[in-house]
A and B are shown apart, each in its own frame.
Chain A
Amino acid sequence: MIDLILQLAPAWAEAHAPALIIVLPLLAGPISAFLPGSGRIAWIMTMVVTALCTLLSIILLAQVRSVEGGAVISYAMGGWAPPYGIEFRIDALNVLVLMLVSFIAFLTSIFGWPTIRAEINEEKRAMFFGAFQVCFMGLLGVAATGDAFNLFVFLELSSIATYVLVALGSGRDRRALPAAINYLLMGTIGASFYVVGVGFLYAATGTLNMADLAIQLQDTSGNRAVQVGFAFILVGLGLKAAMFPLHQWLPNAYTYSPSFVTAFLAATATKVAIYALVRFLFSVFSLEFIFEGASLALILTPMGIAAMLACSFQAIFQTDVRRTLAYSSVAQVGYMLLGISLGTAAGVSAGMFHLVNHALMKGALFMAVAGVVLTYQGTRIHDFAGLGRSAPWTMTAFAIAALSLIGVPLTAGFQSKFALVSALLASGWWWAALIVVFSSVLAVVYMGRILQAVFFKPPNNPQKRQKEAPMLLLGPLWVLALANLWIGINGNFVVGLANDAAQALFIGGVR
């Protein structure tokens, strides 16, 4: 399979894939923002670009996996050799994130057209797609870059585009505007904290390249500047990743932004921030530094557990489906942080595995909600009553993804929670494993409320006719739902990727 991809891919695409995957949406974004018409051409262009990026990420994956244990592809931007120039560095960890982001972007952009036509004004649609591509490019850039400051630039590029996209939800509900400004204030604080942290690291080492930083930071465990920098970076990236007490921006932003944006953001934005956090925790800083010098386990573990419990409880009491799912997202980030805070290869692997699975299930759930918004205009649980009969295809996919979120066997969610629990037990954290199980019970409650309304309650409005979401929406939705089932039955492919990613961190993919 890998050989076949490498044979089929043209040589120039192989050599320049790390740059092309960023440059393509970077150039296509501004062009598509000025395309004439009602946005349909811009939409087609977005689809083509995201499809090409997916292909490029597959090529990168094949290149990384062509070597046993994972190759490291280093690309010097502008021919300036690292550590002085900006380096794009692809290893087993970030190729996974690149593939996830571009694949989800491709699926969401296919389903995007019907919902955008319903929710966004005609003259704003081309701009909307331009902003979407810039956001997409920023997320890819965060994943691909090997330069600490460059990561900040890409993070802010994607965030600024995200604020615009969230604010565009104001056409449907004006509450999108306060949500967007709150997201902007919190997100900018997060990014600024990250920059301060990078500044401290630069003061201590004189380099910004992550691989070089890792080498320079090895003998600085007692350095106060490095410790302060670490704290700033942890808080900054934690804000972006919606780590538990820093998640206040997330529920409103997910609830009121256009459905297309919610589906994309929920599946990618926090995931990329978590990737950046993992990158800093395990490959820029050394394990000894974080676990002995800064005692990470005392910070990250309680935060992960608090997220799993508090946000699951909050999710139970919501009346809006999207808000329930948003709180559930914060809780799921808690699972990933718990896996990461173990500090073992098995824990990080379980965290990354859950990251991929969560992207697939939240993508599917929010796409199904988008379908309901499109046909029935409403996102409250009340509006979902009886939809199991009037929109069976949409709601079956919704149910599959919901079961996966709960962690029912034969779904992706079960596989990654199982991996997480095994990793916890292997480290002797049986109490944490119990909390994971308890939090899953809470997930049964909050998803059960929605599923009960969907399948067992009579429709609120008897005039609701049999009406499915359009085919453009059902296709990507079912691709994601089936992906959940496929990983649940045979997860070897993704488990292999996650294991390679964790190995790359622990055996020294960067160092």
Chain B
Amino acid sequence: MVEFILERGNYWAIIGLMMIGLYTLFSSTNLIKRLVGLSVFQTSIILFYISLSRIDGGTAPILFGADAKGHGGDHAEDVAAAAAHGADAAHGVAADAGHGVADTAHGAASHGLEHIYSNPLPHVLMLTAIVVGVATLAVGLAIVVRIREAYGTIESDEIREMDLEVALAEYAHDHPGEADPA
């Protein structure tokens, strides 16, 4: 049981972060805190993908040593080709890692590589996700700044009350003589 928990330590951390983020997002009334919750939530997803890419004994996915030589040689322009081959190799590794069986030696050996590399694809995906997250956060903060200017507060319950007053006033204006619906 203890082993079961400890073996999956990364997943517990990810689930914990995800729940902390979602809880902050839903329970807080302060808009900045809600955006912080959103960021924590997104970070847990990034960790999730990165831990998917890890392979036992794998190093950073950059060809080095004999691997780089075997594919490219010393010419600068050939390194680009080596990188392209590296991408192919990485796909092989990706497929193996994905099947859940740690048959990584096969993944490396079948492509004639000396070293074992982590799967670079999730890293690249998360680079994109980070950019998207930053853009979302920037837009969100900009809107919060505008809310502060328009309402004088960033507490969402206070904003809701102010909006409700406006809506009731509109209703009373449209239906003179009727009883207040609230």
**A contacts B directly (C-beta below 8 A):** yes
Among B38, B132, B159, B163, the one with the most A-chain Cβ atoms within 10 Å of its Cβ is: B132
Determine the distance from Cα of A192 to Cα of B160 in the docked complex, in whole angstroms.
26
Which of chain A's residues have a CB closer than 8 A to the CB of B99?
Answer: 206
Measured CB to CB, the closest approach of chain B to A288, in angstroms, equals: 22
Among A152, A175, A185, A380, the one with the most B-chain Cβ atoms within 10 Å of its Cβ is: A185
Determine the distance from Cα of A20 to Cα of B83 in the docked complex, in whole angstroms.
28
Evaluate whether A206 and B125 lie within 8 angstroms (CB atoms) in the complex, with A185-B34, A188-B136, A189-B41 already known: no
Q: Is the CB of B163 within 8 A of A184?
A: no
Q: Is the CB of A199 within 8 A of B147?
A: no
B156 — nearest CB in chain A belongs to which residue? A178
CB of B151 within 8 Å of the partner chain: yes
Evaluate whether A175 and B140 lie within 8 angstroms (CB atoms) in the complex, with A202-B98, A207-B95 already known: no
Measured CB to CB, the closest approach of chain A to B90, in angstroms, equals: 9
Which of chain A's residues have a CB closer than 8 A to the CB of B160?
Answer: 178
CB of A113 within 8 Å of the partner chain: no
Evaluate whether A196 and B45 lie within 8 angstroms (CB atoms) in the complex, with A177-B150, A185-B38, A188-B38 already known: yes
Please encode chain A, from 194 to 218, with 1 for each CB lying within 8 Å of some chain B CB and 0 for all others: 0110010011111110000000000
Evaluate whether A184 and B25 lie within 8 angstroms (CB atoms) in the complex, with A174-B150, A199-B45, A206-B96 already known: no
Q: Which of the candidate stretches A39-47, A90-98, A162-170, A261-269 sits at the interface with the other chain?
A: A162-170
- Secondary structure at the A interface, as helix, strand, loop or mixed, is helix
Which of chain A's residues have a CB closer than 8 A to the CB of B163?
Answer: 175, 178
Interface residues of A in 155-194 (CB under 8 A from B): 156-157, 160, 163-164, 167, 170, 174-175, 177-178, 180-181, 184-185, 188-189, 191-192
Determine the distance from Cα of A163 to Cα of B143 in the docked complex, in whole angstroms.
9
Which of chain B's residues have a CB closer than 8 A to the CB of A184?
Answer: 136, 139-140, 143
Measured CB to CB, the closest approach of chain A to B104, in angstroms, equals: 13
Evaluate whether A164 and B147 lie within 8 angstroms (CB atoms) in the complex, with A192-B45, A203-B100, A380-B174 already known: no
Q: Is the CB of B128 within 8 A of A153?
A: yes
Q: Is the CB of B94 within 8 A of A206?
A: yes
Q: Is the CB of B42 within 8 A of A380?
A: no
A155 — nearest CB in chain B belongs to which residue? B132
CB of A149 within 8 Å of the partner chain: yes
Q: Is the CB of A206 within 8 A of B97?
A: yes
Say which size band chain A's interface belongs to.
Answer: 35 or more
CB of A84 within 8 Å of the partner chain: yes
CB of B77 within 8 Å of the partner chain: no
Q: Which of B25, B128, B140, B171 lies in contact with A319, CB distance below 8 A?
A: B171
Determine the distance from Cα of A268 to Cα of B46 in the docked complex, in whole angstroms.
30
CB of B55 within 8 Å of the partner chain: no
B136 — nearest CB in chain A belongs to which residue? A188
Measured CB to CB, the closest approach of chain B to A243, in angstroms, equals: 18
CB of A467 within 8 Å of the partner chain: no
Which of chain A's residues have a CB closer than 8 A to the CB of B113?
Answer: none
Q: Is the CB of B174 within 8 A of A181?
A: no
Which of chain A's residues have a CB closer than 8 A to the CB of B129?
Answer: 152, 195
CB of B49 within 8 Å of the partner chain: yes
CB of A65 within 8 Å of the partner chain: no
Evaluate whether A149 and B125 lie within 8 angstroms (CB atoms) in the complex, with A184-B139, A184-B143, A196-B48 already known: yes
CB of B135 within 8 Å of the partner chain: yes
CB of B91 within 8 Å of the partner chain: yes
Please encode chain B, from 28 to 49, with 1 for each CB lying within 8 Å of some chain A CB and 0 for all others: 0001001100100110010011
Measured CB to CB, the closest approach of chain A to B114, in angstroms, equals: 23
CB of B166 within 8 Å of the partner chain: yes
Interface residues of A in 268-318 (CB under 8 A from B): none
CB of B146 within 8 Å of the partner chain: yes
Which of chain A's residues have a CB closer than 8 A to the CB of B20?
Answer: none
Evaluate whether A167 and B146 lie within 8 angstroms (CB atoms) in the complex, with A153-B132, A196-B45 already known: yes
CB of A457 within 8 Å of the partner chain: no
Which of chain B's residues have a CB closer than 8 A to the CB of A449?
Answer: none
A216 — nearest CB in chain B belongs to which residue? B98
CB of B79 within 8 Å of the partner chain: no
Evaluate whether A319 and B170 lie within 8 angstroms (CB atoms) in the complex, with A153-B132, A160-B136, A184-B136 already known: yes
CB of B105 within 8 Å of the partner chain: no
Among A153, A174, A181, the one with the most B-chain Cβ atoms within 10 Å of its Cβ is: A181
Q: Is the CB of A178 within 8 A of B132?
A: no
Q: Is the CB of A192 within 8 A of B143?
A: no
Determine the distance from Cα of A204 to Cα of B95 in the docked complex, in whole angstroms.
9
CB of A382 within 8 Å of the partner chain: yes
Interface residues of B in 135-181 (CB under 8 A from A): 135-136, 139-140, 142-144, 146-147, 150-151, 156, 159-160, 163, 166, 170-171, 174-175
Evaluate whether A181 and B143 lie within 8 angstroms (CB atoms) in the complex, with A160-B135, A206-B96, A319-B171 already known: yes
Q: Is the CB of B95 within 8 A of A206?
A: yes
B138 — nearest CB in chain A belongs to which residue? A160
Evaluate whether A178 and B147 lie within 8 angstroms (CB atoms) in the complex, with A206-B94, A380-B170 already known: yes
Determine the distance from Cα of A206 to Cα of B103 in the docked complex, in whole angstroms.
14
Q: Is the CB of B147 within 8 A of A181?
A: yes
Q: Is the CB of A185 within 8 A of B159?
A: no
Q: Which of B45, B96, B97, B170 lies in contact with A195, CB distance below 8 A?
A: B45
**Pairs of residues from A and B, 4 with the lowest C-beta to C-beta distance, nearest first:** A206-B98, A382-B174, A206-B95, A174-B150
Other A-B pairs beyond A160-B139, A206-B97, 8, CB < 8 Å:
A156-B136, A160-B135, A163-B136, A170-B150, A174-B150, A185-B140, A199-B52, A207-B98
Q: Can you list 11 residue pairs at the A/B interface with Cβ under 8 Å? A: A152-B132, A177-B150, A178-B163, A180-B143, A185-B34, A188-B136, A189-B22, A192-B41, A203-B98, A380-B174, A382-B174
A interface with B by C-beta (< 8 Å): 84, 149, 152-153, 156-157, 160, 163-164, 167, 170, 174-175, 177-178, 180-181, 184-185, 188-189, 191-192, 195-196, 199, 202-208, 319, 380, 382
